[in-house]
Amino acid sequence: MARPQLGHVLLVAPLVAVAAWVALRALTTTQDPGTVLAALRSAQGPRLPAAAAAGAVRCSELAAYDRDTLYEFIDGAADGYLSRGFERCVAATFTFAGAPSLDVAAEVHRFATPDGAHAQLEAERPDSARAVAGLAATWADGAMLVSVHDRDYLKLTALSSSPAAAAALVGVASAWSETRPR
């Protein structure tokens, strides 16, 4: 049997080094699946629940806004949102059955930090709003509901006065709390 010559060893040595480097990188870059899933959910952006989950009969098509288009949605208040670190928003209108039917305008705003979302909530929370039982960081006054979770700020507004408005607002907020990332 012939012994390997120096030239053969020099040809194989770089391949062995590359294989060892790849194996080492694979061991050091393994991510926790839970951490990866949480990061992917967070990157999706703000979300609203489905109409049925919120107890509504239908939901309008979602409209999406970012830092450049926020003025199209809330022209007069956009500067306040932007100064608190607004990133993006989704908005829709939920319709609830009844006589007469009830519409609820729903918005979820994503901020750069949880502090920005909390600051926006404090700026818009009605003076007469009370904490909503069973929903953390949520306040309502019967015509408007505001809530915050991490970097997301939920704002719900009943578009007409109705005895069912308060329950509809809480229904949407409860469904939202179930759809947001944990």
15 and 59 share a domain?
A: no
Q: Tell me: the pLDDT tens digits for 79-98?
A: 999 999 999 999 999 999 98
1 within some domain: no
Residue 28 has, within 13 A of its CA and on its CB side, a CA count of 6
Instruction: Check residue 180 and give its pLDDT.
Output: 66
Tally the domains of the chain.
2
Mean pLDDT in residue range 57-71: 95
Judged against a pLDDT cut of 60, whether residue 14 lies above it is answered with yes
Q: What percent of the chain has pLDDT over 90?
A: 66
22 within some domain: yes
Query: What is the rounded average pLDDT for all residues in the chain?
Result: 88
pTM, full prediction: 0.77
Residue 7 to residues 15, 16, 46, Cα–Cα distance (Å): 14, 15, 60
149 within some domain: yes
Q: Provide the pLDDT confidence category of residue 42 given band limits of 50, 70 and 90.
A: low
Q: Provide the pLDDT confidence category of residue 154 given band limits of 50, 70 and 90.
A: very high
34 and 52 share a domain?
A: no
Instruction: Check residue 62 and give its pLDDT.
Output: 95
**Separation CA 19–CA 21 (nearest Å):** 5
129 and 103 share a domain?
A: yes
Instruction: Check residue 11 and give its pLDDT.
Output: 74
Mean pLDDT in residue range 43-55: 89
Q: What are phi and psi of 121, to 5 degrees?
A: -60, -45
78 and 10 share a domain?
A: no
Q: Provide the pLDDT confidence category of residue 43 given band limits of 50, 70 and 90.
A: low
Judged against a pLDDT cut of 80, whether residue 34 lies above it is answered with no
13 and 85 share a domain?
A: no
Is the model more confident about 144 or about 100? 144
Mean pLDDT in residue range 104-132: 97
Query: Which of 107, 47, 52 minimizes the C-alpha distance to 74?
Result: 107
Instruction: Check residue 29 and give its pLDDT.
Output: 66
Q: Provide the pLDDT confidence category of residue 30 given band limits of 50, 70 and 90.
A: low
17 and 50 share a domain?
A: no
135 and 58 share a domain?
A: yes
133 and 115 share a domain?
A: yes
Judged against a pLDDT cut of 70, whether residue 182 lies above it is answered with no
Q: Which segments within the chain are labelled E, that is strand?
A: 58-59, 63-66, 86-96, 102-111, 130-131, 138-140, 144-149, 152-158
Q: Residue 141 belongs to what domain range?
A: 45-179
